[in-house]
Amino acid sequence: MTPRIQALLEHILEKRHAALRRDVTWTLAERFCQEGVAPERRAAEGLRAMLAAEQPAFLPGERIAFIRTVKQIPDLYTPAEMEALRSEAFYAEKGYVFNISPDYATTIREGLDARRAEITARLQRAKDEGDDAGVAFLEAALSGVDAVLDLAERYRAAAQEQGLTEIAELLAHVPRQGATTLHEALQFLRILHYTLWCEGEYHNGFGRFDQYMWPYYQADIAAGRLTADTALELIEEFFLSCNRDSDLYVGVQQGDNGQSMMLGGMDRDGKDAFNDLSRLCLKASCELAVIDPKINLRVTSNTPMEVLEAGTELTRQGLGFPQYANDDVVIPGLVRHGYALEDALNYTVAACWEFIIPGCGMDIPNIGAVSFPAAVDRVLRTSQAATFEAFMADVRADLMAEADRLAATFATVKILPGPFVSIMCDGRVEAARDVCEGNRYNNFGIHGTGLSTAVDSLAVIRQLVFEERALDLRALAAAVDSDFAEQPELLAKVRFGVPKMGNAEMAVDLLAKEVLDAFADSWKGRKNGRGGIYRCGTGSAMYYIWHADELPASPDGRLAGQPFAANYAPSLNVPVKGPLSIIESFTVPDLGRVINGGPLTIEIHDSAFKERDGITKVAQLVKYFIDRGGHQLQINATNRDRLKDAQAHPEAHRNLIVRVWGWSGYFVELDKPYQDHIIQRVELTVGGGNAPSVQKKPTGATRMPQP
């Protein structure tokens, strides 16, 4: 890391740049409501107003400009208007375009002047054809381009006035013209990504950064304009630019901002695309140790160990990434779900882990979620089954009924317009339609939460009710409702006397396969109202806390108020043999059927990396997961004692980073329930040979009685 980058890093970590920000009281929504302004025009005027309010500002020593100076993005609809809209249709989350990875490459290559000419020509056609809807969209898109060009010119003039000649010369070329160097391309990308947030889109991923930036890097190296070291410095500065405003991009929690980046994987010819730029990105992230961008790494069974070890160097930093995606499983799984092979080969991730196609996808990959423990709970109370097989048939029927209920909720789904992001989506200018109306792929993703809790509960029901006949379904339901009060023997039995998922017990792991197959079957063949399908996944998002709050205790011994495991992982406070047994258990299901994404999440005690061969051992775990047919994996280096100290003394741990569910954030900025969950996760150590051991410390309210 150069002294210049070190200085920029310290400036951002100390939040000195926040002094550049100011509050703006917006009244656009009220005016739009009074005047009955159409949605496309609201989007255009909102972006124009936001960018006009921005004031050019520069950090000391920076070479890539653009920083937010206005804290608030204007609302375009009043609360009453949004309530009325939601009464007529389902609007996911905030209602705007989100969880998207647009086609940055084309605009960076061609420049905004060329895109402006394209829009202008298409606008004339729309006028000639009397296409009022097309005219409205294209005029809004044109307005957005002009607003960006205006802000870029104001930045150029300010840079020139302040003697920042390099930035001024950079902005004299981009974004009007196409980029010709890596520096120009990175500046252009910064402007585009910045603009999407200002338009109202959020969780905007960077897609396959190392692929569309590769031509610029390659040309600079060949021409002698850059060396690997000077390129690394530029990449590190771009990465830091993602952290300037990230605290303003708040999702469910601070850090949940969707700034994900995909590296490596196959190209459209099926060849390995991991390159020298991919390596530099891993190195940059490792050196900076900040939460953005969140690195994802595409791998296959043929990925060299040196690449997996480079990824593991990041894990050792405690960043919670890279998150690995296995092309061997994901690509066939996407094709199985109707994606063209050339598009499946080009997949990336949305905000967290959901698989999407950059440029041509308008999927809503997190539109809803199914709670597996809730299904088991409902059947526990209503089933008249005389055998466990009949009980499982009732569970399958319940999952089908839940799918029917949710699908009815999503019968009419709408998205608010995003004219500027639309010009970076394939075919939208030619079609003269906003991407909010759809694109090549318009699929919906359904998360599946609490799998291990459900499977462990089913194992208890099978053993205690149907095999041992120790109690019947209603008696078990009563115990659950009482939170196992005054039944310590039963609580100990369900917790420690029945095999649990994560210990490579095939009889239990096959229950997981059965549940996930039933989940996939319940959505198979359904079409959504936007012409797409439904994709099931093993991710939980924030539902691991929300769904758990809706349930009493569960038959596996989880007490009321205790959360599920995040994503695809063993239940909290369940003793497991080690990481190998977890991988063996969680690769038994057919993961190609639940290809919306959702990583197997493993916590490794950071002491594993103090051993000389720690990097190699953890990389071998990743390799084992890939070879076993796992779809997605995240490994977190944790230290429970440090986390507990950070809770007690946050001022001493400002920059402590943790993986939450599909994203990384600063531990001290999380709400306490999320902090507590991270502390309670199973913490493993990697021992010698093939016998990893588990380090488990029961904590607080979740302390378990010993058998």
Are the C-beta atoms of residues 662 and 351 closer than 8 Å to each other? yes
Q: Within 10 A of 259 (CB to CB), how many other CB atoms are there?
A: 23
Phi, psi of 75 (to 5 degrees): -70, 145
Closest residue by Cα to residue 506 from 407, 584, 595: 584
The SS3 call for residue 528 is: coil
Distance CA 50, CA 46 (A): 6
pLDDT of residue 652: 78
Distance CA 327, CA 338 (A): 16
Pair of tokens at residue 60: 């000391």
Q: Strands, DSSP E only, in 485-607?
A: 534-537, 600-605
pLDDT of residue 573: 77
Distance CA 322, CA 599 (A): 11
Amino acid at residue number 625: F
Pair of tokens at residue 253: 């929690």
Amino acid at residue number 73: I
pLDDT of residue 58: 98
Whether residue 293 is preceded by a cis peptide bond, meaning omega within 30 degrees of 0, is: yes
Q: Strands, DSSP E only, in 443-565?
A: 444-449, 534-537
Distance CA 217, CA 275 (A): 11
- Helices 182-199 and 132-161, interaxial angle, to 10°? 120
pLDDT of residue 693: 37
pLDDT of residue 695: 35
Residue holding tokens 């394209």?
118
Distance CA 149, CA 156 (A): 10
pLDDT of residue 255: 60
What does 366-406 look like in DSSP terms, one character per residue? EEEEEEHHHHHHHHHHH---SSHHHHHHHHHHHHHHHHHHH
- Helices 228-241 and 3-13, interaxial angle, to 10°? 10
pTM over 0.75? The answer is: yes
Phi, psi of 411 (to 5 degrees): -60, -40
Q: Strands, DSSP E only, in 454-533?
A: none
Closest residue by Cα to residue 147 from 69, 71, 199: 199
Distance CA 279, CA 40 (A): 42
The SS3 call for residue 627 is: helix
Are the C-beta atoms of residues 115 and 145 closer than 8 Å to each other? yes
Distance CA 387, CA 395 (A): 13
Q: Within 10 A of 109 (CB to CB), how many other CB atoms are there?
A: 16
CA 606 to chain centre: 24
Phi, psi of 568 (to 5 degrees): -115, 90
pLDDT of residue 661: 60
pLDDT of residue 613: 87
Compute and round to an integer the Cα radius of gyration of the chain: 26
Residue holding tokens 């758990």?
548
Are the C-beta atoms of residues 188 and 180 closer than 8 Å to each other? no
Are the C-beta atoms of residues 291 and 660 closer than 8 Å to each other? no
Sign of the torsion angle spanned by Cα atoms 407, 408, 411, 415:
negative
pLDDT of residue 700: 30
Residue holding tokens 């994203």?
663
CA angle (488 as vertex; 485, 494 as ends), nearest 5:
105
Closest residue by Cα to residue 367 from 444, 256, 450, 449: 444
Are the C-beta atoms of residues 241 and 458 closer than 8 Å to each other? no
pLDDT of residue 30: 98
Distance CA 657, CA 223 (A): 39
Closest residue by Cα to residue 538 from 450, 621, 459, 604: 450
What does 628-684 look like in DSSP terms, one character per residue? TT--EEEEEEE-HHHHHHHHH-GGG-TT-EEE-SSSEEEGGGS-HHHHHHHHHS-EE
Amino acid at residue number 327: D
- Using CA atoms of 545, 548, 553, 556 in order, give the dihedral in degrees to the nearest 10: -80
Closest residue by Cα to residue 579 from 602, 605, 547: 602
Percent of the chain with pLDDT over 70: 94
Are the C-beta atoms of residues 596 and 520 closer than 8 Å to each other? no
Are the C-beta atoms of residues 435 and 449 closer than 8 Å to each other? no
User: Which alpha helices (DSSP H) does 567-613 contain, by range?
Assistant: 579-586
- Helices 372-382 and 451-460, interaxial angle, to 10°? 30
517: left (phi over 0), alpha (psi -120 to 50) or beta: alpha
Are the C-beta atoms of residues 631 and 330 closer than 8 Å to each other? yes
Amino acid at residue number 201: E
The list of the chain residues with pLDDT below 50 reads 688-707
Q: Strands, DSSP E only, in 145-269?
A: 202-204, 260-264
Residue 499 burial class via C-beta count within 10 angstroms: exposed 0-12, middle 13-18, buried 19 and up: middle
